[in-house]
Amino acid sequence: MLDIFNNNAFGVTSLTDAVNEMKYQPTRINDMGLFRASRITTTSISIERIGNTLQLVKPSPRGGPGETRDRPKRSMKSFSVPHFQRDWAVYADEVQGVREMGKENAVRTVQGVVADRMGEQLDDFALTEEHARLGAVKGVITYADGDTLNLFSEFGVAQHAEINFDLANKKDGDLRKACVDVIRLERKYLGAVGFRHVHAFCGDDFFDALLKNPEVRATYEGWSEAKILRESYVGANRGENPIFEFGGIVFENYGEIDDEGVGVKTAKCHLFPMGVPNLFRTYYAPADYIETVNTRGKRLYSKQMRMRNDKGVDGEMQSNALQLCTRPKTLLKAKMAA
């Protein structure tokens, strides 16, 4: 019965191709295209940082020696790519009676059983990737086993003090001034590197208070954009989340996902620059199989092997993915005043 699994359709290459072609639950950060993915042939990566601060030239006596410019410091940081794996199984009884001897459609029929089993894992892998990427946006990635990757300490920088958005303040101009201060901070931390705008992932309470803020409402009332106050979103790139722009910042209500600890706390907001080359990176490493040694990594892999006594097949799905922000100093955190 299980000789069918010797077919090439059930090899690591075919199963991996199949799982990467499957539709998985869309996620906001993936839809935004925020992370640039690279397929690497190793299980770790190294990032070199070179300081590039502008320096004023001091006046010097004519005919005398000039000053010497301070040379930028170089630093190298290595990161291991974490390994994520889920096991699955298909038993002989599950495919009993699905084919007749010599029928060529048997492979396709059993493939459906295998695809169902692999499909059960896809949403969890998508959620895992989204959670890690959101952690990279916040600056601290927390994995399901409780381990963390603190990008601030890894790169030797301190996060800017939490910014207080007094959203209940009725004084005109204060909220816009707070937004301008955020933009100025990003410009300071990016130096000569340009960016398009600042984006913010907001918790539910933060976003609701922002919409109710008198300064926000006064800005949009009387204009065609007043629909924002009714619909709480604009733009083709909003996804499923409410989103609008104020003070040069695009505020998006990210919220929580399925009570899994994935998301933004209700009274918090995380801000980051958009349009910065290589700011957010994903590195896919190869699977831990003989046939994938020194090959370029893929987002997901799947493989199957016979059970003892031919009771069925054991399978697994795995991902080897590292999510990073290469300039964690630009990751700002804000809160709404109590």
List per-residue pLDDT tens for the chain, 338 residues long: 445 555 554 555 655 665 665 544 547 888 888 999 999 899 998 887 765 444 455 666 766 677 666 666 666 788 999 999 999 888 877 766 655 444 555 555 666 777 778 778 888 888 899 999 999 999 999 998 889 999 999 998 999 999 999 888 778 888 999 999 999 999 999 988 899 999 999 999 999 999 888 888 887 776 555 555 555 555 545 556 788 888 889 999 987 765 556 789 999 999 999 999 999 999 999 999 999 999 999 999 988 888 888 787 888 889 999 999 999 999 999 999 76
Whether residue 223 sits in one domain with residue 180: yes
Sort strands 256-257 and 36-39 into parallel, antiparallel or unpaired: unpaired
* Domain boundary, last residue among 263, 278, 293: 278
Whether residues 108 and 251 share a domain: the answer is no
Position 337 in a domain: no
Does one domain contain both 219 and 134? no
Q: List, in order, residues 6 or more apart from 209 with CB less than 8 Å away.
A: 167, 168, 336
* Residues 186 and 269 grouped into a single domain: yes
At 110 the pLDDT is 65
- Check whether residue 6 and residue 143 sit in a common domain: yes
Domain count, the chain: 2
Residues 287 and 142 in one domain: yes
What pLDDT sits at residue 192? 84
Asked if residue 312 and residue 256 are part of one domain, the reply reads: no
Question: Which long-range CB contacts under 8 A does 147-154 form with residues at least 24 apart?
Answer: 149/79, 151/324, 151/325, 151/328, 151/331, 152/328, 154/77, 154/79, 154/328
**Domain end: 240, 258, 278, which one?**
278
Domain for residue 332, yes or no?
no
Q: Which domain holds residue 48?
A: 2-52+76-147+280-325
| Residues 48, 31 within the same domain | yes
- Contact between 297 and 82 under an 8 Å Cβ cutoff? The reply is no
Q: Looking at the structure, do residues 196 and 246 belong to the same domain, yes or no? A: yes
Residue 155 included in any domain: no
pTM of the model: 0.81
Shared domain for 143 and 285, answered yes or no, is yes
User: The domain spanning residue 37 has which CATH number?
Assistant: 3.30.2400
Instruction: Report which DSSP code applies to 48.
Output: E
- 48-52's contacts with Cβ under 8 Å and 24+ in sequence apart are 48/74, 48/75, 48/76, 49/74, 49/75, 49/76, 49/77, 49/155, 50/74, 52/191, 52/192
